[in-house]
Structures are given as structure tokens and as C-alpha cells.
Amino acid sequence: MVRQNLAKPYQLAVVFVGAAALALSVIGFRVEHIGARFLLIVFLTIVASRFAVQIPRAATNITVTDAFIFLTLLLYGPEATVLLAAVEGTCSGLRASRRKLTVTFNIASAICATFLTAHVVRLGFGDSPAPDTSTPFSHVLALVCAMALVQYVAHTTIISVAHALKTDQPLWQTWTRHYLWSSITYVVGALVAGLVVRFGDTVGIYTLLLTVPPVVSLIYFTYNKYLEDIKLTAAQAEAAERERAEQAERHVEELSRYVAELERARAELQASKEHFQHAAFHDSLTGLPNRALLSSHLRLALGRVRRSDEHFFAVLFLDLDRFKNINDSLGHGAGDQLLIAIARRIEGVLRPMDTVARLGGDEYAVLLDSLSEEADATGFAERLQAELMKPFSLGGHEVYITASIGIALSTNGYDDPENLLRDADTAMYRAKEKGKARCELFDKLMHARAVALLQLENDLRRAIERQEFQVYYQPIVALETEKIVGFEALVRWQHPTRGFVPPDEFIPIAEETGLVAEIDQWVLREACRKVGEWHRLSPVNRPLTLSANLSSRELTHSDLVGRIKETLAETSFDPRCLKLEITESAVMDNAEAAAAVLARLRELGVRLSIDDFGTGYSSLSYLHRFPVTTLKIDRSFIGRMSEDTEKFEIVRTIMTLASNLGMDVVAEGVETHRQLAQLKLLKCEFGQGYLFSKPVDAEAAAALLARQVAGRKLFSTRVSGDLILPPASTYIN
């Protein structure tokens, strides 16, 4: 109803614009245009406007006056054309309606559309666009198309808006229903006008003009006769229908059943069409079957198993190892080439009855049908791995790739293809965990383990809400004085039913699910609050530092710096006493982005530490690009340093590198007196490990600090061979 109220204001607005366009055209009209030819065109336009054809099922008429409008535009320019459009609109409008607003709106719409068309043509083809015999046909075609398109779109849109407002119907629906077909009249009109002007010099424009009305009249009367025939046929059919009405009543019930059945079939057909349109059966990149088609083949194979106990098949789930490295180094184009090449190699080792499908990304699945025994499946997987290990040539680069494969056998009693793929996928992940480039056969224990991991993930989400985590603190010691100079904050999970859950069991799940960011944020807040209390309670501990881990996922969060700044402000913790530890691999995975984030953290006053240094295989030349203050040597080097000369030399090299770059060094995993002596010999300043203390809770850490403030020796050791153990009191759980 609201839209219908807008119809009249809209029509008045169009009338106002049309009046303005007409006034401009009258002012710019050149009187010298008035001549015999111009008056002939006006006369023919008025005559042609009387021949209108009513379009069936549409509240509109078509006329043949467009050819004369376009002809005037080519011969006399925009002003004369607008005046002729006003004349034609007046004739057509008076014939179509006697309502003043409707008539004036029809006139104004013709004026507006013609005004716009004329000036667009002038802008695109100059003040004298009329073609002659020397004009290339391509130019004539472009001119004709431009005139027809602009006039068609402008005129029908103006009228469609009014019609849509009156009927409260969508504009697009109104336009397509009533005016989409009328484009042909504009095209024909423009084409006729273009041909008349182009060949006028040869044949004589008056001759051409005089031939237009008879031809148009013939078309008009032919079409009108066609409509009359349609009406006559319809009337005859209606009469025949009335005669059969009595007979039809006896078949109403049968017809109703037929219509209902037809409607049901139509609905099923539409549903089937929609299903097969958003889901195709083949992968667009490799041309292999996709998951939908593979599932169909698996259902057939499961059906054969149910019909015969002797039928046996297997499903292989294949995932490429380190495929991301290909995309990152050679680009996604090379990655796509590799996926296609792998598809061809897999096809090359298949039997005719087997099926390979690409499930997405770098994942493939293979249906090995009609096997004799389990060894057939594992043997095929091994042959496939050997085939994939051969080098691939990608744009001049020789690339090597391996695959992890999981195998699920039909003997496990499946009744659904998705369960088969799920278990093969589970076995594939087990192969990944065992070192990649291998195959694993699914068993029930794998499924139980997958279910347990899912339960652990659910418990982990609830643990955040229930505050089941605790912060433990491991002392960082100045090796020369053996005094505590800081603590590393470590998270511990006290499960309500399972008890203590080891970090190496739940941290990987937290990393994979993204929960690690929330956990790390909680640990940082709690640790800042607690170490801040120790600062205030004991001024002698003022230099005490807090080291907290920063996961690789957190490093990619856009709000990381803001969250850390907020935590420091909330806990009133001195940022100069905070060290954020990032693993070497996390930094090197995206060096450019990491450098930018670390620089912003350094601006807060926070110090930065590379954790597990030496295990990430990074280029040492990159190290100086990061605003790092501390290197933490991985425990694997410290633990083997006493008996492995190579490890000792690696530690010495790291110490030299850190000294040259002005960085501190912390040795992790110090457990023996001999290791301590070697580290002192190498001038290592700081260390942490079981030689000094396990990670302990806040109460035990505070007790260690109290002993240090009291001047008591913290880490008096007793010798057992060359292993120096801390006193039992430091092993606090």
C-alpha cells in the first residue's frame, strides 16, 4: 500500500522532468530544420502512431513510430527529435487514455527517454552521427545498437517503475513480464532508420520514406490478423470446452488424482534437479570423481558385501605430506599442477574395477574392489607410495612428495560409506603421527582413541569455563650466583575425574582447535597478577622476570598486541619484566608477518625470547631481523652436551651468536652438575631445569623466594655419580 501511494508523486516527477527537457529542446531547436522532408517525417509519425497493436496478456501497445524518431535523430539532431517525440507521445497518449495525468505522463516518458537517447548518441558519435554510403557497416551497427539499447532501457524502465508502483509488484518482475519482448521493436526501428539514412543518397530518401508506411502497414495488418485468428481459435476452443463440460464432470476425480500424481512427480524432478545442480560428480581440477560419486560406488560395494560374505574391498585415504610447502615456495599454480600429476599417477597403478577420487585439497581416496586378502590392500598402498616418491617436474623444478595413507577394510562391518571414509581418515592421521610417508591399517583401538580425543576436546572447552587450569612456575636461575632471577609460567590441567592431564596430551588439541589462545591469555593474566604480588611483597625481587609462552596461533591474531597491553594494564605489571617466548618454527613459518608483530610488542616494552632454539632449522641470517632479546637453547642439546661433542659445539656456536647479537641465553633442561659446569665454562648466564627445581605451584614458588630473601641457599646439591639432584623439598607438586 505504501508503494502504491508513491505512484502519483512519481508520475508528477516524470512530467516535471519531461517538461524541462522539452523546454530545453524548444530553446535549442533550429528553425531551418523545418522543411518538406521534416514535415513528411512528422506526418508519417502521426499516421503511424494510430496503428497500435495490443499485446496479449500485457497492458500495453506497440507502435511503429520508433523508426521515425530514430530517423529524425540521425538527420536533425536531439532538439528536433525531442519535439517529434512530444508530438508522437501526445498522439499515442490521447489514443490510449483520457486521464490527464496518464496522458501527460506518457508524453513526458517519451520525451525523457528520447532526450536521454539523443544526448547519449551525440556524446558517443558526435553532433552529426548520420551515416552515408561510405560509412563502414560496423559503425552503422554500433550506432543502431546504441540508439536502440538506450531508448529501450530508458523508456521501458520509466514506464515499468510507474506500473510496479501502481500494482505493488517487484520492478524486475514487472519489466520482464511486460516489456522484455519489446526490445525487438526498438532494434528494428533503429535498423530501419540507419539503413534509410545510409542508402538515402543512392535510392533517394523520399523514396525510402514513402516505402516505409506500406511495409509497416503490411506488417501491422498481418500481425493484427494473426491476433484475430488467435482470438477466433480461442473462442472456438472455449465453445468446444463448454460442450465437453458435462462429460468432464464425470472425470473430475480421475483428473484430480492425475494432477496430484503429476505434481508429486514434478516436485521429485525439481528436487532431483536441484540436488544434482549445487553437487557435480567430478572434481573440476583433476577430472577425478568427487566425494559424492565415490560415496555412490561405496554404497554399491557395501551392497555386494551384504549379498556375499566372500566379497572383500578396502578404502585408502591418502593425504600428501608437507604439501603446503609446495604452495608457499612455488605458488598455488604449481600446487595445482602437482595435484593433477598425482591424480594421473594414482590412476596409472589402479585396476579397471578400482576408483580414485579427490576429496578436496590434497586428499584422495581409493576404492580397491574385489580383493582376495588384507595383504592386497597394504601391498597396493606400498606400491602407490613408491610411485609417488618418484620426482615430479613442475615448471623446471624437480619436486619430491610423500603421502600418508590410512586403510579401512570392509570386514569391519560397515553399513554407511561415511563411516568407511571416517575410519580410513583416522588411520591416515595415525600414519601422520608416526612420522608420515607410511600407511596404517585401521583397527578398533584407533576409533576408541579418536573418540577419546573428541571427549578430551569437549572437556578442554569446559575446563576453560570451570577454571580447572593452574599456573605452575619453574625458576630461571643466574648460573653464576644460583639465585632465582625469574620464572617461566606453565599451564597445568587438573581434570575433575582423570586427575592431572599432561601438557603434551592437551596442548596439541588446544593448538588444533584454537583454544590455546584463550588458555595462554588466562595463564598470562594469572601469572602477571601473582608475580606482581611478589614484586610488591619483596622489593629485593623487583628485577624478577616472568616468561610466558606465545603460541604460533596467537602470533597470527590481529588483536594480540591489544590483548597483551590490556592484560598488563589490568594487572599493573611492568612490561619490562615480561618475556614472551615464541618457538623458532612459529617465527620462521611466516617471517615477514612475525617480524611486524614482534616489533609492535617490543614497542610496549615487552622482551622477546626464542624458545627451543636450534630445533627449527632456521637460517641464522634471519635472526638479526627480529627484535629478540633472549635465546633459549633447547633441552635436547643441553641433555646430550656432556657425552656428545657435536652437541657441545652447537651450544658453543649459539653462545657466540647470541653474544655477537647482544642477546641473553637461557639453557633449558639443566639436570646435572657437569652440565652446569660446562655452561659456566661457556659463559652461559641463565638456566632452568630439574637441577634447580621442577615447575611448582604458586605457593611453593613463593616459598623459594622467601628462602632466597632470607639469604638461605636454595639449590644445595648432593652428588650421585655425576648427576646432581636438588633437595627433595624443591620437588613440590
Report CA torsion sign: 119, 121, 126, 132. Answer: negative
What angle do the packed helices 591-603 and 560-571 form, to 10 degrees?
20
Burial of 297-324, coded b for 16+ CB within 10 Å and e otherwise, reads bbeebbeebeeeeebbbbbbbbbbbebe
Confidence of residue 200 (pLDDT cuts 50, 70, 90): low
Q: Average pLDDT of 630-638?
A: 89
Provide the angle, in degrees to the nearest 10, between the axes of the packed helices 36-49 and 205-243. Answer: 0
SS3 content of the chain, % helix, strand, coil (to 5): 65, 15, 25
d(CA 416, CA 65): 69
The single-letter code of the amino acid at 366 is V
Task: Name the 3-class secondary structure at 490.
Answer: strand
Residue 358 clears pLDDT 50, i.e. is over it: yes
**Lowest mean per-residue pLDDT among 123-132, 413-422, 628-637, 700-709:** 123-132
For residues 430 and 555, the model is more confident at: 430
Average per-residue pLDDT for the chain: 80
* Spatial contact of 468 and 506, defined as CB atoms under 8 Å apart: no
Residue 388 pLDDT level (bands cut at 50, 70, 90)? very high
pTM: 0.48
- The listed range with the strongest mean pLDDT (165-174, 581-590, 605-614) is 605-614
Res. 216 pLDDT band, cuts 50 70 90: low
- Report which of 545, 547, 554 is spatially closest to residue 593, judged by C-alpha positions: 554
Cα 101 to Cα 372: distance, rounded to the nearest angstrom: 87
Share of the chain above pLDDT 90, in %: 29
Distance of CA 362 to the CA centre of its chain: 17
At 571, list the grid cell: 594487572
Torsion of CA 557, 561, 566, 572, to 10 degrees: 140
What phi and psi values does residue 602 have, to the nearest 5 degrees?
-65, -30
pLDDT the model gives residue 64: 67
DSSP code string of 247-300: HHHTTHHHHHHHHHHHHHHHHHHHHHHHHHHHS-SB-TTT--B-HHHHHHHHHH
Q: Which residues contact 61 (CB under 8 A, 6 or more apart)?
A: 52, 53, 54, 55, 92, 96
Neighbouring C-beta atoms of residue 586, cutoff 10 Å: 21
CA–CA dist 630, 581 (Å, integer): 9
Here the cell at position 486 is 625469574
Sign of CA dihedral 19, 21, 27, 33: negative
C-alpha cell at position 156: 521501458
Q: What is the CA radius of gyration of the chain?
A: 43
> For residue 55, what is the DSSP state?
P
Q: What is the pLDDT of residue 196?
A: 77
Backbone angles phi, psi at 50, to 5 degrees: -80, -15
Cite the beta strand spans of 380-468 per DSSP E: 392-394, 397-399, 402-409, 439-441
The alpha carbon dihedral of 378, 384, 388, 390 has a sign of positive
pLDDT of 315 above 80: yes
* Model confidence band, residue 721 (pLDDT cutoffs 50, 70, 90): very low
Residue 174 in this model has a pLDDT that exceeds 80: no
121: its cell numbers: 548518441
Q: What is the pLDDT of residue 77?
A: 80
Torsion of CA 356, 358, 362, 367, to 10 degrees: -30
What's the CA gap between 22 and 596, in Å, rounded?
Answer: 63
Condensed to tens digits (0 to 9), the pLDDT of residues 145-161 reads 888 888 888 888 888 88
Q: What is the mean pLDDT of residues 119-140?
A: 76
* Average pLDDT score over residue span 555-578: 89
Q: What is the pLDDT of residues 31-61, one digit of tens each?
A: 777 777 778 777 777 777 666 555 544 445 5
516-537 helix and 503-513 helix, angle to the nearest 10 degrees:
120
Strand pairing report for 314-321 and 363-368 = antiparallel
Q: Are 671 and 731 contacting, i.e. CB atoms less than 8 angstroms apart?
A: no
The C-alpha cell of 364 is what? 584422495
For CA atoms 166, 168, 169, 171, the dihedral sign is positive
**Does the pLDDT value for residue 385 go beyond 90?**
yes
pLDDT at position 90 is: 80
Q: Which of residues 658 and 219 earns the better pLDDT score? A: 658
Q: Check residues 531 and 24 and name the one with the higher pLDDT.
A: 531
Given a cut of 80, whether residue 655 has pLDDT beyond it is yes
Average pLDDT over residues 119-130: 79
Alpha helices in 374-436 (DSSP H): 374-388, 417-433
The single residue listed with the C-alpha cell 615464541 is 582
- What pLDDT was estimated at residue 572? 92
Residue 439: what pLDDT?
92
CA nearest neighbour of 524 among 504, 546, 540: 546
